[in-house]
Amino acid sequence: MSELFSIQEQDLFYRLALAIAGLLVVFVLVRVTIRLLTRRIDDPDRVYRISRQIRRTGVVVMIGLLLVIFSPRPAELVAILTVVGAGLAIALRETLLSVAGWLRIVLMHPYQRGDRIEINGVRGDVIDIRVMRTTLMEIGGWVEADQSTGRLVHIPNAWVFLYPVYNYTQGFRFIWNELSVTVTFRSDWQAARDIMESLARESTAIIERQVAEEIRQMSREFLVHYSILTPFVYVRIVENGIRLTLRYLCEVRKRRGTEHALTVSILEAFRQHGGIELAYPAMQVALPDTPQFGSLPPPNRTDHDAPGTRPPDRPHSP
C-alpha cells in the first residue's frame, strides 16, 4: 500500500515539475517575442494590439499544456477536450463566426480594401480587414448623398453570413443615378426633356467608352447586359405638373458632384429658354359665395311692430 502511494506521489511530483517547466518555457517565449516586437515596430498602438494577442495565445497554450499533463489517460483527455470544445463553441459563437467570415472574405472576395460597400444598413469605404472585424470609413448618415461623415465603423466579419453585401465598385466602377425635375403643365416639356438629355450626354461622353469596356469585362464573370448606356429622360404626369427623370451613369464616388453640375446647367438652360417653369406644390382654396347686405330679406314684422302702433300693456300682478 505504501508503495502504491509512493508511486502516485512520484507521478504527481513528475507532473507538477513538468507543468512548471512548461509554463516557464511558454512565459519566457511570450516575453522574448514581445521584447523583439517592441524593438522592430515603432507604432505604440500596433505594439499594444499585437502584444495583447501574443499574451492571449500564451494563456491558451498554457491551459492546453496543463490539460495534457494532468490527464490520466488519452481517452479521458479526448473526452475532456470534446466537452471543453463544445462549450467554447457555444460561448464563442460570434467570435468563431467572425473568424469563418474572415476566411470567406479572404478566399471568396465579397469585398476588398478600397471597395465601397453596404451591409446591414452601414455604408462606407473598406479601409482595413482583420480576423475579427472590418473597418469602414462611413458615408451617408446625416450627410446627404454618398459623402464621408469622417467616422470609422467597425463591423464584425460574421455579418457576411447574416446579411447581404452590396458592393458598389466590384467589377464595375459606375452606378446609375437619377435626377428628377417637375415642370408645369403649360411649360414646353419636350424642350425641357431635350435640354436635360443633351446636357447629360455632354457630361457623360468621356466615360461612355470606359463604361462599355468594363461591362464587357464584367459580363465574362457575371450575367450582365445593359442595352442602354446613354442618358435617357423618362416622362411622367404627376398631380402638380410633368415630372422629367434623367437617368445617367456616373462614377461611384462622384455621384453628388455630377448631380450638382447637371442641376446648375439645367436651371441655367431653363432660364435662357424662357418657356419652361418649375412646378411646386400649390393649394387653391374656393370660398362659398357670401350674400351681400343689400340682398338680405327684410325682417318679419308683427302687428305691434307696425308704424303708429304701440305694444300692448303687460298685465300687472295684483
- The one-letter amino acid at 9: E
**pLDDT score recorded for residue 213:** 79
The pLDDT of 90-106, averaged and rounded, is: 86
Q: Which residues, including other chains, have CB under 8 Å from residue 89's CB and lie 6 or more apart?
A: 96
Sign of the CA dihedral 288, 292, 298, 299?
Answer: positive
Set of cell numbers at residue 268: 441655367
Q: Is the pLDDT of residue 53 over 90?
A: no
If DSSP codes are grouped into helix, strand and coil, which group holds residue 2? helix
The pLDDT of 153-174, averaged and rounded, is: 91
Give the global pTM: 0.60
110-167: CATH class:
mainly beta
Q: CA separation (Å) from 275 to 194, 217, 235, 245, 309? A: 13, 45, 18, 19, 73
Q: Is the pLDDT of residue 260 over 60?
A: yes
- Give the pLDDT band of residue 18 (cuts 50, 70, 90): confident
Number of H helices, E strands in the chain: 8, 8
Q: Is the pLDDT of residue 44 over 60?
A: yes
Fold of 174-273: Alpha-Beta Plaits (3.30.70)
What are the extents of the domains in the chain?
13-91, 110-167, 174-273
The pLDDT of 94-112, averaged and rounded, is: 90
Sign of the CA dihedral 168, 164, 112, 145?
Answer: positive
The pLDDT of 54-62, averaged and rounded, is: 83
**pLDDT score recorded for residue 52:** 78
Please state, in angstroms and rounded to a whole number, the distance separating the CA atoms of residues 230 and 249: 8
Please state, in angstroms and rounded to a whole number, the distance separating the CA atoms of residues 273 and 270: 5
Number of Cα atoms under 13 Å in the Cβ half of residue 168: 25
188, 276 Cβ separation under 8 angstroms: yes
117, 136 Cβ separation under 8 angstroms: yes
Q: Is the pLDDT of residue 313 over 50?
A: yes
**pLDDT score recorded for residue 125:** 94
Q: Is the pLDDT of residue 198 over 90?
A: yes
pLDDT tens digits for range 107-144:
999 999 999 999 999 999 999 998 889 999 999 888 87
- Give the pLDDT band of residue 6 (cuts 50, 70, 90): low
Q: Is the pLDDT of residue 217 over 90?
A: no
The pLDDT of 292-311, averaged and rounded, is: 55
- Give the pLDDT band of residue 318 (cuts 50, 70, 90): very low
Please state, in angstroms and rounded to a whole number, the distance separating the CA atoms of residues 136 and 117: 9
The pLDDT of 191-215, averaged and rounded, is: 86
Give the Cβ contact number of residue 287 at 10 Å: 5
Please state, in angstroms and rounded to a whole number, the distance separating the CA atoms of residues 34 and 40: 10
